[in-house]
Structure 1
Amino acid sequence: MLQGSSTIQFKIVLLGESAVGKSSLVWRFCQDQFSETIESTVGATFIHRVMDLGEYSIKLQIWDTAGQERYHSLTPMYYRGAKGVIITYDVTNNDSYEKAKDWVNEIRTQGTPNAKIVLVANKIDLEDHQVDQMEAMKYAESNDLLFFECSAKTGEGVKDVFFGLSKALPVKWGEMSNRKGMEFSDSEDEFSVNVKNSKKVNKKKESGGCC
């Protein structure tokens, strides 16, 4: 049996159309902050997050991918090997929901076999919802997807997305980390990688944050 000092490592990837709020979800989860002026992802960014799940710790290697169509051909190299996939849509944009279904199909045919997929309805703080909640829930259920609603702006439901996925990932799928005794990610230095430019960028930690 795994002990509390064991750390299991998983690669997860965020997919979805441009402007659905993927980067904002990651920023809210890691730093508990939100910015209206966050820049669009170029290629992909890579972020660590370590959480204590009780019996063991889990280290998420989070790949936040660009949603612009011109980067679509590069996306398979980011989701290759990912055990968890977070596919996000904007509840005020029905096109982004339909595109999310396309992402589900792509992962099922080209992604890691049996990868856990989470369908995320973001921007629930806004009023003009175009995507019917019950229809999305039924779609997720019929396709064996985890389903969460959240708002990166207010923070509502964001932790549920990442913790829900983490708890659904079978331990046997993970890789043992050489580091022991890690709890939350503010206990270690975090970094992001601009994949397009292949440069590592050190991030200064802020109180309570991870990346």
Structure 2
Amino acid sequence: MDDNAGTSDISSFKVVLLGEGAVGKSSVLLRYIENKFNNKHLSTTQASFATRKLNIDGKDVELNIWDTAGQEKYHSLGPIYYRGSQGAILVYDITDERSFERSPAANPIKNWVRELQEVLKGSAALFVVGNKIDLEGTRTISKETALQYAESVNANYHECSAKENINIDSLFDNIAKVMLEREKDAATNLTRRSSLRRSNSRRTLQVIDDDEAAARPRKKCC
């Protein structure tokens, strides 16, 4: 989608990038924000931040994207950056099985999802993303395996290549669409609850009026 500089009636969302070190999170963000790729490994320390405005089906959207460090020594800081996120992108390297199963304990990436659920209570749109599909010939994690996992945690699945700029824009377009839909649903539910409260309030007032009328002394007939 095209960038849009308009600021009126804009929906602003926080998106966090998660995953092990060297899976290409920073490369995905660099490609999306600046349309660049650095062949040298980009190691993120703690977290970096970038913003991009776009337009989704006529709706202005601002994405505030946090790229978190994947190294184990920074992992304890993760929940600090998760808070307040409406979207989360969990990136792994399709050629590195260890990126799909966190080393050294070889726990599956559901640990990342578990942390997100603990902090965000399932409120964020989650995307599981396999990066480096330009290296398809050395793939070690099948698309079927990753897709099955994504479906098991109610996440969307996406594959991309930061190096070759494959499916990068569509990744962020798709998560923006999901977050917009959630925002719309939340607004609809809020309107329904507000309408229900007003309706209940009117019923309560009517009951009170009826009770007061019934309690008034009746005038005697001549």
Q: TM-score range by the shorter chain?
A: 0.7 to 0.9
1:14 aligns with 2:26: no
Q: Which residue identity lines up with residue 24 of structure 1 in the other structure?
A: S
Query: Conserved in 2, the CA contact under 8 Å of 1:4 and 1:55?
Result: no
Corresponding position of 2:138: 128
Query: Conserved in 2, the CA contact under 8 Å of 1:76 and 1:111?
Result: no
Corresponding position of 2:101: 98
1:62 aligns with 2:60: no
Query: Conserved in 1, the CA contact under 8 Å of 2:17 and 2:67?
Result: yes
Q: What's the secondary structure of 1:125's corresponding residue? A: helix
Identity %: 41
1:114 aligns with 2:117: no
Query: Conserved in 2, the CA contact under 8 Å of 1:123 and 1:150?
Result: yes
TM-score, structure 1 as length reference? 0.76
TM alignment of 1:1-211, pairs within 5 A: 5-99=8-102, 100-126=109-135, 127-169=137-179, 170-172=182-184
Deviation at 1:98, TM superposition (A): 2.0
More helix by share: 2
More strand by share: 1
Q: What's the secondary structure of 2:38's corresponding residue? A: coil
Q: What's the secondary structure of 1:37's corresponding residue? A: coil
Deviation at 1:147, TM superposition (A): 0.5
Q: Distance in 2 between matches of 1:61 and 1:90?
A: 23
Task: Flag structure 1 segments of 5+ consecutive residues without an equivalent.
Answer: 175-211
Deviation at 1:5, TM superposition (A): 4.1
Q: Distance in 1 between matches of 2:83 and 2:134?
A: 33
Q: Distance in 1 between matches of 2:185 and 2:50?
A: 20
Higher RCO (CA 8 Å, separation ≥ 6 residues): 1
Q: Which has the larger radius of gyration?
A: 2
Query: Conserved in 1, the CA contact under 8 Å of 2:126 and 2:155?
Result: yes
Aligned length: 172
Task: Flag structure 2 segments of 5+ consecutive residues without an equivalent.
Answer: 1-5, 103-108, 187-222
Q: Pairwise CA RMSD of aligned residues?
A: 1.9
